[in-house]
Structure 1
Amino acid sequence: RFCSELKLSGDVQAKAIEILKDAADKELTSGRGPTGVAAASIYISSILCGERRTQREVADVAGVTEVTIRNRYKELAERLDIDIIL
């Protein structure tokens, strides 16, 4: 739902789901709000797929704060070895 509201492609959505599955496998989601983790994975995948959205845009659609996205995205990128060039 968030991906469609942000007008992101199916590729971005698929990548976000892949990131979420990897995060769940490594138990990076426990104790974290699922919406924040989902929003961060969408933010990361939008960058990786060349359809970048700002943290503010993703936060507004997901109903979380930019700080939440920033914290979760840093955790996910670091723990899943994802290189992000901003």
Structure 2
Amino acid sequence: MKIHVPLPVPSNSISRIAGKARLSEKTARKALEILALVSDNPLLSGKNPVSLAAASLYLATIETGEYTTQLRIAIAADVSTVTVRKRCLEIIQLVKADNSQLLAKSIEKSQELLSEESKPILQPSIAAASVAHNPAKNVKGLFLASRQVSRLPYLPVEYDDSRASIELS
């Protein structure tokens, strides 16, 4: 039995992921350009082609100004957000190594966004100290301090200070 199994190509997954994530065709074309820059590099051989497509789509959204979350792209591609982030960093390093000026703006923007996404909003010790100082008023601040920054839209929850009744003995 001589069965030929074609190797998966990342560019085949871009339109499917872009459709599921509801991204524009302009972004999908930019993602194909990004993949063309790094597709022949041996450092990316053995990596999941779908994750490479997802990472290139994320970088393309930054380049085109159609900002979206890593989570939305990760869900559309059926990979984790950590995988998308790692592949983005690998693609950025390869583009920098090639001295390609085509993506200079997106590299700077994406590095800023990737570094911001892993930082907490407030230092937990600062938030805990402020809650200890005035617990009834800063319950919402403690919630925000414990929540990690993400690019998901934050829907504010109505918080009424008058209903907070914490009694200290």
Q: Percent identity?
A: 37
Other-structure match for 2:20: 5
Q: Residue 35 of structure 1 aligns to which amino acid in structure 2?
A: V
TM alignment of 1:1-86, pairs within 5 A = 1-81=16-96, 82=103, 83-85=107-109, 86=113
**Distance in 2 between the 1:47 and 1:18 partners?**
14
Q: Residue 84 of structure 1 aligns to which amino acid in structure 2?
A: E
**Distance in 1 between the 2:39 and 2:50 partners?**
13
SS in 2 for 1:58: helix
CA RMSD of aligned residues (A): 1.3
| 1:62 CA drift (Å) | 0.4
What stretches of structure 1 of length at least 5 have no aligned partner? Answer: none
**Distance in 2 between the 1:74 and 1:84 partners?**
11
| 1:84 CA drift (Å) | 3.4
**Distance in 1 between the 2:32 and 2:44 partners?**
13
Runs of 4+ aligned residues of structure 1 deviating over 3 Å after TM superposition are: none
**Distance in 2 between the 1:80 and 1:27 partners?**
13
How many aligned residue pairs are there? 86
CA contact (8 A) 1:55 1:69 kept: yes
Which deviations, in whole Å up to 9, do the C-alpha atoms of 1:14-43 show, x marking residues without a partner?
A: 110111111112334301000110100000
Q: Does 1 or 2 have the higher relative contact order (CA < 8 Å, sep 6+)?
A: 1
**Distance in 2 between the 1:13 and 1:57 partners?**
15
CA contact (8 A) 1:59 1:69 kept: yes
SS in 2 for 1:32: coil
Kindly indicate which of the two structures has a greater share of residues assigned to helix. Answer: 1
| Bigger radius of gyration | 2
